[in-house]
Structure 1
């Protein structure tokens, strides 16, 4: 999950913050607000939808940047010097995230929306929901995994290595994988828009985050470590990121309000393959780590990275490719509702099975 943002490689003791812990509640309230406002003020939402250029909606772009930028500040690419340490965990992360997860998500999307749910959904709508699921499956977690790693007492430095490598791979692999999978499902792929989305929502925030982190480390307060300076900055801008997340959800569900009110079971339909994917990917990664005798402090965060999604990127690309009111955008937002309760249940399971793994 994908979220969010105040979490860093070595968070302060005390466990998950109140925002992260109750993320599904906040998102649920934002969904309700979006549905109400979308039905009460359709003209306002139509005006907001029209504020776009070259498939980029300006209000949503600003909100997405508000979410993504703090995550990128938290990523320390100097951690790549540890890339050779305990390579098994990194190999599992890369294989699951880039060779398994996107393809299983696409397969589940096709199975449910072209076969199982086919009698209840129009074919054109089904393609939209499949596209949204593909975008989620191809976007591995960037920030929230630091929180999950903390909750399972994972190796913070190694988690940072895994996330940093994933971010680099994402720059080059996300667009081709999405294009291939969308093409296989007979969805037209506007390459220019897809590449523009990756540049806007991955490359630019990544560069901005790295530049900000470098500036913060050079201008740390007297007696303050570089990590402490970064923590102070990300903590200060966390409210902006939270507002960006919730406002984006309000907008998306405002645009989708009339559809959801008429078809409330649609959310459940979208959630089912997402749930299967989440628990399935965790099982594959966690079992492989156990079989390969990967230490728990690496194995648990490794499985969490594969299970969680960078939903902010998925939402932004879905909007760019298919529009604010599209089924693809709706599917990516449902991923937020599904993710947090699922991940908390997996944290509990991992902690309960810790003794089955070597500790170092």
Structure 2
């Protein structure tokens, strides 16, 4: 065992020996905020839908139509989406990010993420959308638009809860944000129109402009505020005081902004959602399948990619230990848990802000495409939150690279 510990591999708990007490200890390790989030999210949605149904004026108060808006998204909703992104960005060591990017391992992760997010993700969502919504063109287009909008916001929250690599996550978010300006419009044209031989309702130039503006607002603004806030604060009070006081004050605003954003979304669209519940059930099928398939497939892939020659040849001590314990993943004990979580949630998450903004801009506020885009956060929020907690529970069952 001592020889094993020196190898730098974290010893997992055997499936046969892990009891309820150990699982309870893992759950207790989560903060109250993490544990209460499923309930507060559900309550926010339920209360917002009730208000939307029984107080009709509220829908128009938070709606973009007839009010000041940015890119077809209401100002209250824009404020919430920007506010929830700033705290995770403030946690990134931007002053030393150039050194982080020189790491060869990080470069490899960028390549892996590029393939998963821009090749596998859109293909998977498109296939599932066609499977469930073959006869519902508008809803199918809305679901596909969710699939090709790679996450640039909420993934930071899920990654943080699961214990992922925050620096890598933000780097991937920034990469996906710039790539969306290049790839989103062409992918939407290919998957929504060329494959189905449908007529394109908007010009290619208009689509590119909408995507560029959406990314500029929903990432550019919080990125600029977050980086400026960190740099100015560190220059004024020093890094230790920044981490101890300022960051401690900023961090909770991500969760606050997230709940506020959901509240605004479901007040403005709750009535619509209730009256489209039949179609919603059909739209739920590809979304639910996507989230679980994308997450668990990426989990398996990341562990497979960590298999070394020594593990394959059975020359690694940890391989023998795993066989004796009958633990999972016996040949992939060099996998990094934080990096694996970051890749899993980056792949499984989608940018519902962008897909909703583009759907409203191109098809209208009451279009079936925008209604389908609304279902994204409704399912993504509880499912990915559950997966974030499941990730923490699954961790002891596997060998992981010791990064403490």
TM-score by length of 2: 0.70
1:62 is matched with: 79
Tell me how far 1:180 sits from its aligned partner: 2.1
1:9 is matched with: none
DSSP 3-state at the match of 1:144: helix
1:304/1:65 CA distance change after superposition, 3 Å: closer
Tell me how far 1:198 sits from its aligned partner: 0.7
DSSP 3-state at the match of 2:116: helix
Q: What is the distance in 2 between the residues matched to 1:324 and 1:26?
A: 27
Aligned residue runs from structure 1 range 194-209, under 5 A: 194-209=211-226
DSSP 3-state at the match of 1:295: coil
Check whether the contact 1:27–1:246 (CA below 8 A) recurs between aligned residues: yes
Q: What is the distance in 1 between the residues matched to 2:263 and 2:376?
A: 14
2:105 is matched with: 86
1:259 is matched with: 272
Q: What is the distance in 1 between the residues matched to 2:388 and 2:375?
A: 18
What are the Cα deviations for residues 328-347 of structure 1, in whole angstroms up to 9, with x where unaligned?
Answer: 44122222232211332244
Aligned residue runs from structure 1 range 1-360, under 5 A: 15-49=29-63, 50-53=66-69, 54-77=71-94, 78-83=96-101, 84-87=103-106, 88-114=108-134, 118=135, 122-135=136-149, 137=150, 139=152, 142-150=155-163, 159-184=165-190, 185-186=192-193, 188=201, 190-220=207-237, 224-235=240-251, 238-239=252-253, 241-293=254-306, 294-297=334-337, 298-309=339-350, 311=352, 325=366, 326-334=370-378, 335-349=380-394, 351-355=395-399, 357-359=400-402
Tell me how far 1:146 sits from its aligned partner: 4.1
DSSP 3-state at the match of 2:156: coil
What are the Cα deviations for residues 2-23 of structure 1, in whole angstroms up to 9, with x where unaligned?
Answer: xxxxxxxxxxxx7433333333
Tell me how far 1:92 sits from its aligned partner: 2.7
Output the aligned Cα RMSD.
3.1
Q: What is the distance in 2 between the residues matched to 1:282 and 1:47?
A: 37
Q: What is the distance in 1 between the residues matched to 2:401 and 2:240?
A: 35
1:5 is matched with: none
Tell me how far 1:76 sits from its aligned partner: 2.7
Check whether the contact 2:82–2:219 (CA below 8 A) recurs between aligned residues: no
Tell me how far 1:311 sits from its aligned partner: 4.8
What are the Cα deviations for residues 168-202 of structure 1, in whole angstroms up to 9, with x where unaligned?
Answer: 31232013332123212126453322211111111
Q: What is the distance in 2 between the residues matched to 1:81 and 1:26?
A: 39
Q: What is the distance in 2 between the residues matched to 1:230 and 1:110?
A: 48
Tell me how far 1:282 sits from its aligned partner: 2.7
Point out 4+ residue stretches in structure 1 off by more than 6 angstroms: none
Q: What is the distance in 2 between the residues matched to 1:52 and 1:29?
A: 28
DSSP 3-state at the match of 1:51: coil
1:278/1:311 CA distance change after superposition, 3 Å: same
1:60/1:188 CA distance change after superposition, 3 Å: farther
Unmatched segments (≥5 aa) in structure 1: 1-13
DSSP 3-state at the match of 2:296: helix
Instruction: Return the index of the structure with the highest Cα Rg.
Output: 2
1:193/1:91 CA distance change after superposition, 3 Å: closer
Tell me how far 1:226 sits from its aligned partner: 4.3
1:244/1:21 CA distance change after superposition, 3 Å: same
TM-score by length of 1: 0.77
